[in-house]
Amino acid sequence: MTTNPIDPRQLDRLADVAVRIGLNLQPGQDLVLTAPVAALPLVRRVAAAAYRAGAGVVTPILGDEEVTLARYRHATDASFDRAPGWLYQGMAQAFAEGAARMAIVGDDPMMLAEQDPDKAARAGKANALAYQPALEKIANFEINWSIVSYPTPAWARRVFPDLPEDAAVARLAEAIFSASRVTGDDPVGAWQAHNAGLQRRTRWLNDQRFSALHFTGPGTDLTVGLADDHAWHGGASEARNGVVCNPNIPTEEVFTTPHAQRVEGYVRASKPLSHQGSLIDGIEVRFEGGRITEARATKGEAVLQRLLDTDEGARRLGEVALVPHSSPISQSGLLFYNTLYDENAASHIALGQCYSKCFTNGETLSKEQIGARGGNTSMIHVDWMIGGAETDIDGLTADGTVVPVFRRGEWV
């Protein structure tokens, strides 16, 4: 008799937190749910929790790694310039009609590592273009949405390559449950307390009204100008539909929108970036006038260059986020190869699309007004980590006052 490496009680708690805290699903609200087929145990629990919360209809859309790889092994070259736009149009329509969105992630982060990177880049670009109508609803925070994760065997083997599969899955499950704050007797209460702490940070930052942040550390001297009328967020936030939700489970960050034209200096990544099945390590870039003018990496540089060439906005920033080095995810010492986790281990920046909610009264602003305030537009939004134990961050006010924010990776 084999023992289940994933504690079913913890999985039940994760599903409950995902629906009640992550989504805060409302009675009668439909839910569009995407997940890998390997995550079906969590998909089923989320569906049950959603219906207990009064969901209208839960619609799961499942992906499969073998189906994805079959495309790379057998499809014609023209296939990689196509994407299921009809599906994303339908998702956008569901969101326009009030549906919530949940993504359960868990695919092997290096699934495409041995495939043609040009095909992966083309497929990613085609998918990003097709997904834009649905992505806009999410990026503009028009709906309540959330991301959680499930410890699939393929992902676990990647994080713990030296362990037997069951042991690897058990270790990854433990790490996910701990980071997601579901290991105690009152996960909902734990999340409410955590959200309150993040909101104290955002209130302080919003009161400071910094015009820029100055990052210094190994290989880094970077000034990130902040968008006009920017607003800091962290933890639970209210979507435009009036529902307060936690978009990321887990989360340790507070974040806002940089000014797309006002980023200067150079920065070195503090952790590798897993992107489209490739690991990009040793990233170093230089910004001039808000745009990346030089970029290199010790590993995966060709993938990085393709990412930067996605569109004009891909070389500019859409997010800056502050995370202390003492974050539980950082202290775990693990590289998850998954942005949802790795971005919550260190302060980070994101290339590409900004979040409209990160402006004062952002829900009332048009695309043109957001752009005029410095918000960036792009088909991508890719986070990568620049903080660590040696990172200092200063806030710069409009009158030139320097206010210490982080010293040696921790909040001052």
d(CA 13, CA 146): 16
pLDDT score, position 117:
85
d(CA 63, CA 44): 15
* pLDDT class of 32 with cuts at 50, 70, 90: very high
How far apart (Å, rounded) are the C-alpha atoms in residues 294 and 283? 11
Q: Would you say residue 125 has pLDDT above 90?
A: no
Could you report the per-residue pLDDT of 294-331, keeping only the tens digit for each?
999 999 999 899 999 999 999 999 999 999 999 989 98
> Phi and psi (nearest 5°) for 186?
-135, 75
What pLDDT is stored for residue 276 in this prediction?
Answer: 75
pLDDT, tens only, 367-397: 899 999 999 999 899 999 999 999 999 999 9
What average pLDDT does range 157-185 have in this prediction?
95
4 has a pLDDT exceeding 90: no
Torsion on CA atoms 305, 306, 309, 311, rounded to nearest 10: -140
Q: Could you read off the pLDDT of 82-98 as tens digits, one per residue?
A: 999 999 999 999 999 99
Q: Answer whether residue 268 shows pLDDT above 50.
A: yes
- Quickly tell me which residue has 């042991």 as its tokens: 167
Residue range 194-217: average pLDDT? 96
**This prediction's pTM:** 0.87
Q: Report yes or no: 269 and 386 within 8 Å, Cβ to Cβ.
A: yes
Contact 181, 250 (CB under 8 A): yes
Residue 1 has pLDDT above 70, yes or no: no
Domains and CATH numbers, the chain: 8-179 (3.40.1830.10), 207-411 (no CATH)
pLDDT band at 2 (very low <50, low <70, confident <90, very high): low
DSSP H or E segment with residue 32: strand 31-36
Percentage of the chain exceeding pLDDT 70: 100
Q: How confident is the model at residue 234 (pLDDT cuts 50, 70, 90)?
A: very high
Distances from the Cα of 252 to the Cαs of 185, 194, 211, 343, 344, in angstroms? 21, 9, 23, 9, 5
Q: What is the mean pLDDT of residues 31-41?
A: 97
Cβ-in-10-Å burial (0-12, 13-18, 19+) of 39 comes to buried
Paired tokens of 113: 């590592």
